[in-house]
Amino acid sequence: MPLVSGLDVIQECTARGLVAGAFNTTNIETTMGIVDAIEKVGVPTFIQVAPTNAALSGFEYIYDMVSRRLAETRVPVALHLDHGKSLGAVEDALAADFTSIMIDASEEPYDENVRISSIAREMTPADLALEAELGSIGGKEDDHGPEVELSTDPSQVEGFVTAVRPDMLAVSVGNVHGYSPTAAIDFDLLAQVRAASSVPLVVHGGSGLPPEQLGRLHEFGVVKVNVASDLRNAMIRAFGEAYAANPQEVSLIRVSTQAVAAISDVVERRIRMLNPSAA
């Protein structure tokens, strides 16, 4: 089916009590691995790319690749801009027909975050989803880290959501991008944020969180969980292992096919961890 709006993914997941995985792609192998897993599990999903990872190809190429691979798929999937750190990135993703947008002005002071995120709201058509971030998530997204790392302040949530009107809110509640040994959800803080938010929540940093924590997020109003490092590492590991086993290896297609299978396996396991009742 054609790409659906992020609003449709949110709506269907909310109605079915599911949490959507949001998996970062960079290339054809990652895209194929993600979609193979989605087809097996049947849970609505976001496929996403941050500007840092679209640097190689551009948003149009990512759109073409993802929409072409999804044409024969029956599971609803939205193409999401991850960590749009500028209004220019939002504009570029919309021009490339992305169906879901993140504005991330979370490193700015509160008022500036509200101002920039509100402009992104105005730019984003009402039938597409907008994610905004309050509190700044630590760790590194690929090799880019935030200058500020700050937990979401529950007392700011209601005002932020009222002012910006996002469709979902990314929160910083102990989650960290990448493989951090200290990543752990503070469920008390998450519960306070949830109580203050009229929109569903997004948890970034899905690779480093323990499975039992991922399996509880649906109880706390979380509708979307981002996973990137795990997929990237699966692909790099497939190539690393092939080279280590045979430095003369030249079958790119064999190793690429192994990488797709490894990525698919990671995605399937993450979707099942997020949705223990659907497993």
Q: Which active-site residues does the annotation give?
A: 82
Please indicate if the annotation marks 177 as binding a ligand. Answer: yes
Task: Show the binding pattern over residues 77-116: x = contacts ligand 13P (CB under 6 A), - = does not.
Answer: -----xx---------------------------------
d(CA 50, CA 142): 10
Q: Calculate the alpha carbon distances from 145 to 40, 87, 113, 126, 149 in Å.
A: 33, 19, 18, 31, 9
Helix, strand, coil abundance in the chain, percent, nearest 5: 45, 20, 35
Residue 51 touches ligand 13P, criterion: CB under 6 A: no
**Interface with ligand 13P in residues 186-225 (CB under 6 A):** 204-208
Q: Which of 26, 30, 172, 226 binds ligand 13P (CB under 6 A)?
A: 226
Please indicate if the annotation marks 80 as binding a ligand. Answer: no
Nearer to ligand 13P, 163 or 269 (CB): 269
Alpha helices in the chain (DSSP H): 6-16, 28-41, 59-70, 87-95, 110-123, 154-164, 187-196, 211-214, 229-245, 252-274
Q: Least Å distance between CB 216 and ligand 13P?
A: 17
Nearer to ligand 13P, 72 or 143 (CB): 143
Q: Which residues bind ligand 13P (CB under 6 A)?
A: 24, 82-83, 141, 177-178, 204-208, 226-230
